[in-house]
Amino acid sequence: MAIGVFDSGVGGLTVHRALVRRFPNADFVYLADQANAPIGGRSGEQIVDLTRACCERLFAEGCDLVVLACNTASAIALRRLQQTWLPGYRRDLGRPVNVLGIIVPTIEAATGLPWEHEPERRGEKVEQLDVLGVFSTPATATSRVYEIEIDKRRQDVAVFSEPCPNLAPMIESGAGHDEMRAEVARHVAALAGRIGRQPDRAILGCTHYEIIADLFREALPPGTPLIHQPDATADAIETYLERHLEYAAGTAGVRRFLTTGEPGLQNGLVATFWGAPLRFEAV
Ligand code: DGL
């Protein structure tokens, strides 16, 4: 059985790479929903429907566990699918399957606290000294998931989100570096303008952005720590698999890359990130 990794496009490869490094012998099926990308500007209903369809496809391809390597799907669709769809689907399928997201591990990494941590006592004056910037799709920013969940756990951390509607499409289409550098700089400046200063730390809260992490490092003040979502996710999946032996990750080192869009080689930006040309098959 394999681990399924889902994203609207090539962004989830950043998480996939960390997972493959962590589990070199496991079998993986990556699915990019490029026919419907980008999803970050879509309605909640559409995001839920598209995410569910891709999970079904990955289960049909033999995966037991699907990792939503997409902040937008994790923020908007995951809880809905876990509550309203997965229990019945699992029963009908007759085998254990599950869907996990990437926001919980990212928040654990950002707060330094386990997800189940008891919220701190409220009602006292707190100095918010640690300012965390989150760059994400519009849907993730509108959900306020990072603001809400971090505030529950760490009232000394102030979270500010910056929606970047053009960045994922630019990365999907392999836009030039100068064009993307200007776009990233514009968003970093816009966020700093809203906060009144630069953030102390940042989350690249759309998996596509990790592909151009260097441009964020360049635009943010030197040394600004970036919380590394791919590694945080790999840590969480490792712990999950240790505790859930019913999900076998395979041992043949299979790597399949599927797309609902145009099959073939992904753009040069992806090849540079990946370290080799990367070909996707049609589903
Ligand atoms: N990579 C996705 C994320 O992490 C979304 C990109 C998109 O389709 O808008 O949110």
Q: Is the CB of 68 under 6 A from ligand 1?
A: no
What is the pLDDT averaged over residues 258-273? Answer: 97
- CATH 3.40.50.1860 residue window(s) in the chain: 2-104+230-282, 111-228
Report the pLDDT value the prediction gives residue 50, as an integer from 0 to 100.
98
| Centre of ligand 1 from the C-alpha of residue 131, in Å | 23
User: Residue 155 burial by CB count (10 A; 0-12/13-18/19+): exposed, middle or buried?
Assistant: middle
Q: Is the CB of 206 under 6 A from ligand 1?
A: yes
DSSP per-residue codes, 139-168: HHHHHTHHHHHHHHH-TTEEEEEEE-TTHH
Residue 14 has pLDDT above 80, yes or no: yes
Which atom belonging to ligand 1 lies closest to the Cα atom of 73?
A: 10
Task: Decide the pairing of beta strands 98-100 and 28-32.
Answer: unpaired
Residue nearest to atom 8 of ligand 1 (CA): 38
Q: Closest Cα to residue 228, out of 134, 109, 88?
A: 109
- Model-wide pTM > 0.85: yes
Verify whether residue 63 is a known catalytic residue: no
Residues with Cβ within 8 Å of residue 42, at least 6 apart in sequence: 36, 50, 139
- Residue the block writes with tokens 């998480």: 15
Q: Is the CB of 70 under 6 A from ligand 1?
A: yes
Query: Are the CB atoms for 207 and 15 separated by under 8 Å?
Result: yes
**CATH topology for the 111-228 domain:** Rossmann fold (3.40.50)
CA angle 135, 101, 13 (to 5 degrees): 70
Q: Which helix (H) or strand (E) holds 180?
A: helix 177-195
Spatial separation of the C-alpha atoms in residues 167 and 184, rounded to whole Å = 8
Token duo for residue 14? 């950043």
User: What average pLDDT does the structure give for the chain?
Assistant: 96
Report the pLDDT value the prediction gives residue 122, as an integer from 0 to 100.
62
Q: Is the CB of 37 under 6 A from ligand 1?
A: yes
CATH number (3.30.450.20, 2.60.40.1930, 3.40.50.150, 3.40.50.1860) of 2-104+230-282 reads: 3.40.50.1860
Residues 138-191: tens digit of each pLDDT: 999 999 999 999 999 999 999 999 999 999 999 999 999 999 999 999 999 999
Report the pLDDT value the prediction gives residue 275, as an integer from 0 to 100.
96
What is the pLDDT averaged over residues 5-25? Answer: 98
